[in-house]
Amino acid sequence: MNSVAEKSRDYSLIFEPITIGNVEIKNRIAMAPMNMNYTGPNHQVSDQQMAYYAARAKGGTGLIITEAVLASDHPTAHTYKKYNNASLCNELYVPRMSELVEHVHAFGAKIFVQLGLGPGRQGTSEAGAIQPVSASPIPYATYPENLVNGMDPLALVRACGYQGAIPQTEDVEELISFANKIPGTHMNGETPREITVEEIQILVHDLGVSAKLAKRCGFDGVEIHAPHGYLLHTFFLRDPTGGPMNTGAHLKTGSVFWWNASIPAGNTRVRTSMWACA
């Protein structure tokens, strides 16, 4: 077995234990974070949510990473009201979160909590939220280079149930530009407001508090949610021409962002993604 392709088909280690930081995981099956919208009122973990995670643990998953959990109750973290995220922003959330951890541990799985600070430029002021914030006042948009593996530029348009006429062209830029003008297709977003230094300081503080609460709840680790164009990701983004995208806020705040967050040492990972769309 020499080639990368052959090695990638070798599943012999999948049921072998693995250690991440000081956490021993019974196998190499990990569940990606997914918000199922099962959270209960006031952002508390619901019974349904608890049962959902416990069932995955019972099924043999070695490591569960929770859906994005709110690390702050600052309004800038709440600009996607269509999703009801669970929260771990203060003591009130510790009892239910601890119970969730207990349920998962009871079936022999480990659990990391994914802590997030809001959707950044993926947010929307719909449903009574404030204008979304981001590292720069640049809305997300779809670019041809984001359509991986020949993806259909009208896929989202079709998925959103658009029934109208579609231009008869194979020109990807033309199709994207057409799709961008149809409301509700998620091809482009609302222009966010540039986040202020003061707001960042609050969020950084809150992230540290939340990570400490996570430890108290018994979570085995913390994953910082920084992918898919969400707030923390916007500090990594570049514009489509390759230059740094955020000028003002990035320069003022980029350096203070993560490392002041007083997150407990060990077992912390950051989730991010490469693509600049979204």
Give residues in contact with ligand FMN (CB under 6 A). Answer: 32-35, 67-68, 114, 225, 227, 271
Q: How far is the CB of 36 from ligand FMN (least distance, A)?
A: 6
Q: Which residues are CB-contacts of 127 (< 8 A; sequence separation ≥ 6)? A: 81, 82
Nearer to ligand FMN, 189 or 193 (CB): 189
User: What is the rounded distance in angstroms from the CA atom of residue 139 to the CA atom of residue 73?
Assistant: 23
Q: How far is the CB of 31 from ligand FMN (least distance, A)?
A: 9
**Chain CA centroid to CA 135, Å:** 16
User: What is the rounded distance in angstroms from the CA atom of residue 194 to the CA atom of residue 127?
Assistant: 21
Q: How far is the CB of 115 from ligand FMN (least distance, A)?
A: 11
Helix, strand, coil percentages (3-state) for the chain, rounded to 5, are 35, 15, 50
Nearer to ligand FMN, 114 or 122 (CB): 114
Nearer to ligand FMN, 193 or 225 (CB): 225
Q: How far is the CB of 10 from ligand FMN (least distance, A)?
A: 20
Among residues 116, 254, 136, 128, which one has the least CA distance to residue 191?
A: 136
Nearer to ligand FMN, 30 or 138 (CB): 30
